[in-house]
Structure 1
Amino acid sequence: MAPLPTPRGGHFTASHTVWDAALDPVAVVRSGDEVEVVAQEASGGGIRPDSTAADIAVLDLRRINPVVGPFAVEGARPGDALVVDVLSIDLETWGWTALIPGFGLLADEFPEPYLRTSAVDSTPGGGGVQLLPDVVLPLSPMVGTLGVAPPEPGPHSVVPPRRWGGNMDIRDVGPGARVVLPVGVEGALFSLGDVHAAMGDGEVCGTGVETTALVRVRLTVAPGRAPASPVVITDQRSFRLETSVATTGIGPDLMEGARDAVRQAVDLLSDERGISREDAYLLLSLAADLRVSEVVDAPNWVVTCHVPRRLLPGWPHV
């Protein structure tokens, strides 16, 4: 591949919507270089601050989850690891969360399009994310999609994650986190996008607070150290330490257990806060953490959905 100059004092905006080793890199960088990108919100411009659910119904799914790149990293070869340090995430002042028909853990129970836009205040001492008039969530900026080109001939959809990274939606991939990716092709061809201002573990409704952001990362090659699949090393600041009300899903199927735990939490939030089930489902996707709590006591396993206690004050009322 022909080397390209690395712009200094600027940032990258060129995006694509598939993984493909045949894509030309937007730049060639050295191991240890930092790159800064403007990652567009996940609809690729299909959702605006004044959008309604009608815009969700006609969303062009070919444009979703655009990622900026790819960046070729000098010296990166198959068998190496690409170490990605997330240095900073500067958020836009608004974001959106939606129910997209056919998408999400309870898609069969929420078949209609639904949309909420949120004000995002990331100024020092700011208010966080205003999802509902009486619900302000703390900021937890993270990068939902980052990865390298797969060696298999493309193109490949950017939506499902794979061994090479991609749309992993791991909440802890925020400032201070390190992601170690296996390199599949020469130069790695790294891209990132899909930034969230807030998201819970599981992203249960299928969306977080989807927003545009300025993201700065450092890319470093670790020769011969490719992991079997991506590894995330978190900074202590990325952990959410809150008391919670945890609903449970118990049975022999982890996916059904996840659905049971989330369904119970939807009903609990809707009843206690007097909000629609749709808003409760969105709220869980942003603020609750879905966890596998037990997988050793055959034949049943336990999945828990942890709802921050501040969203259910006083429950149960005894």
Structure 2
Amino acid sequence: MHPMLVSIDPLKPAQGQKGLMNRWHPDIPAVATVKQNDVFKLGSIEWTGGQIVNSDNADDVANVDLTQIHYLTGPIAVEGAEPGDALVVDILDIQYYEEAPWGYTGIFDMENGGLFAKEFRTKAAKAIWDFEGRFASSRHIPGIRFAGITHPGIIGTLPSQELLDTWNKREKALIDAHPGASPAVALPPIEKGTYIGQDISKEVFDKIAREGARTIPGREHGGNCDIKNLSIGSRVWLPVYVAGAGLAVGDLHFSQGDGEQSFCGAIEMSGVVTLKCSVVKQGVEKFALKQPIFLPSPIDPMYSQQLTFEGIGVGKWITHLKKLGYTIEQAHLLLSAAPVESHVGAVVDVPNACCTLSLPQQIFDRDILPNPDGIERRDYGQAALRSDGQRCFDPFEAKEKQ
């Protein structure tokens, strides 16, 4: 049995549980130390810390406290790791808890709504996904079943004080350049919601709360990369900035489409991660390791038959899913959660870059291809909405009515 270094109860809120953190700061002490090449396990709670529940309304998504997120497990010190080294992390396995065999995908209200918040004037919605082994299906998006590409949305090392100061200065300048932006262009340190699940002095905690970087974006150390192919079986090289490296991991996703388009857009879950770490001395210099490098998993599910939409905007694939019978909320959630492939095909042909989005045909229980007789429209119900019934604005439906 490989040791469980941090145990988490997925049925309880994150607040009060040991071994969790929701800020990046060099003064956060390690909760455990591992030897190189030892295999170990870490429990992880879903990114909001238990704020989202398995229900048929999205009031919890509408009322989520984003000052708390993300709840990460760690930091873990690796023996022999020093600043300038490369930390090599093998993601050996990720399993959901048997007592919590479900996850969710969400759409936030417009002020926190992410990529398409203004275009869709987003209102809170969610889909609950039930897990059966490696497969997921949802009562809120019928007609879909797929194998998950399970991965940590966040994996990274602690920053040095110098790097932390660089982040805060860089992101403050971005905020100052875009006052009042909604959604915000960056999130500065905030004391409200700061959580460090271990016994530390008030002086150290207050310093972390004042200075600690929020976990929303990816940065030089790794962090919130949300790359679906950095999954079970992957190996990642991370820069080391502090003694011991300070590895932290969390924001587990059962599955995700490229781009995580609804912001709360993967299938968020709690689970157990199995890892192994080693160190390459002076790896930052040897590999020119300014940001992480990773090898994709050799065991991700392969969906070879894909219906690919080419274009310069988001409209074609949304309208196709609506033709099948899905609502704007269901389409948005599905494209965030399913193993969708998104690519930039070409950037050289001004003024328009060519982008593609590919839907795996095999995840549907019906034929979704264009055919001469048109596309059969079915009634797929609706995602879980706010109890007041408010919906996202549907620009495609509005155009159809004009």
TM range (shorter): 0.7 to 0.9
**Is the aligned partner of 1:281 residue 2:332?**
yes
> Which amino acid counterpart does residue 313 of structure 1 have in structure 2?
D
For residues 223 and 239 of structure 1, the distance between their equivalents in structure 2, rounded to whole angstroms, comes to 34
Among candidates 110, 114, 132, match of residue 104 of structure 1? 114
- RMSD of aligned Cα (Å): 2.0
The verdict on how the C-alpha distance between 1:263 and 1:42 changes in structure 2, with shifts beyond 3 A counting, is farther
For residues 137 and 151 of structure 2, the distance between their equivalents in structure 1, rounded to whole angstroms, comes to 14
**Counterpart contact for 1:129–1:198, Cα < 8 Å:** no
- Quote the offset at 1:239 in angstroms: 5.9
1:308 aligned partner: 360
1:178 aligned partner: 235
> Which amino acid counterpart does residue 28 of structure 1 have in structure 2?
T
For residues 271 and 246 of structure 2, the distance between their equivalents in structure 1, rounded to whole angstroms, comes to 21
**Counterpart contact for 1:82–1:219, Cα < 8 Å:** yes
**Is the aligned partner of 1:76 residue 2:138?**
no
2:397 aligned partner: none
**Is the aligned partner of 1:33 residue 2:33?**
no
**Counterpart contact for 1:129–1:138, Cα < 8 Å:** no
- Quote the offset at 1:249 in angstroms: 3.1
1:142 aligned partner: 151
**Counterpart contact for 1:53–1:115, Cα < 8 Å:** yes
- Quote the offset at 1:78 in angstroms: 1.8
1:292 aligned partner: 344
Paired residues in the alignment total 298
The verdict on how the C-alpha distance between 1:279 and 1:31 changes in structure 2, with shifts beyond 3 A counting, is same
For residues 204 and 170 of structure 1, the distance between their equivalents in structure 2, rounded to whole angstroms, comes to 12
**Is the aligned partner of 1:95 residue 2:103?**
yes
**Is the aligned partner of 1:164 residue 2:213?**
no
For residues 134 and 247 of structure 1, the distance between their equivalents in structure 2, rounded to whole angstroms, comes to 21
Instruction: State the secondary structure of the residue aligned to 2:308.
Output: strand
- Quote the offset at 1:49 in angstroms: 1.3
Instruction: State the secondary structure of the residue aligned to 2:252.
Output: strand
For residues 178 and 171 of structure 1, the distance between their equivalents in structure 2, rounded to whole angstroms, comes to 13
Instruction: State the secondary structure of the residue aligned to 2:266.
Output: coil
The verdict on how the C-alpha distance between 1:110 and 1:242 changes in structure 2, with shifts beyond 3 A counting, is farther
For residues 59 and 336 of structure 2, the distance between their equivalents in structure 1, rounded to whole angstroms, comes to 21
**Is the aligned partner of 1:20 residue 2:25?**
yes
2:179 aligned partner: none
> Which amino acid counterpart does residue 203 of structure 1 have in structure 2?
E
Once the two structures are superposed, residues 49-92 of structure 1 have per-residue CA deviations (whole angstroms, 9 ceiling, x without a partner) of 12621111110112222110001112212211111100011113
**Counterpart contact for 2:127–2:138, Cα < 8 Å:** no
> Which amino acid counterpart does residue 130 of structure 1 have in structure 2?
S
Per mean C-alpha deviation after superposition, the further-off stretch among 211-220 and 96-105 is: 96-105
Structure 1 portions without partners, runs of 5+: 1-7, 251-259
1:9 aligned partner: 3
**Counterpart contact for 1:86–1:176, Cα < 8 Å:** yes
**Counterpart contact for 1:81–1:182, Cα < 8 Å:** yes
Among candidates 137, 155, 159, match of residue 129 of structure 1? 137
**Is the aligned partner of 1:116 residue 2:127?**
yes
More helix by percentage: 2
> Which amino acid counterpart does residue 150 of structure 1 have in structure 2?
P
Instruction: State the secondary structure of the residue aligned to 2:276.
Output: strand
- Quote the offset at 1:44 in angstroms: 0.7
The verdict on how the C-alpha distance between 1:247 and 1:105 changes in structure 2, with shifts beyond 3 A counting, is farther
Among candidates 290, 308, 312, match of residue 228 of structure 1? 290
**Is the aligned partner of 1:59 residue 2:121?**
no
For residues 19 and 89 of structure 1, the distance between their equivalents in structure 2, rounded to whole angstroms, comes to 23
- Quote the offset at 1:118 in angstroms: 1.1
For residues 191 and 74 of structure 1, the distance between their equivalents in structure 2, rounded to whole angstroms, comes to 15
**Counterpart contact for 1:172–1:239, Cα < 8 Å:** no
Per mean C-alpha deviation after superposition, the further-off stretch among 241-250 and 156-165 is: 241-250
Choose between structure 1 and 2 for higher RCO, CA contacts under 8 A separated by at least 6 residues: 2
Q: Between Structure 1 and Structure 2, whose CA radius of gyration is higher?
A: 2
> Which amino acid counterpart does residue 116 of structure 2 have in structure 1?
L
> Which amino acid counterpart does residue 281 of structure 2 have in structure 1?
P
The verdict on how the C-alpha distance between 1:16 and 1:291 changes in structure 2, with shifts beyond 3 A counting, is same
2:47 aligned partner: 42
TM-score, L = length of structure 1: 0.88
The verdict on how the C-alpha distance between 1:76 and 1:301 changes in structure 2, with shifts beyond 3 A counting, is same
**Counterpart contact for 1:99–1:110, Cα < 8 Å:** no
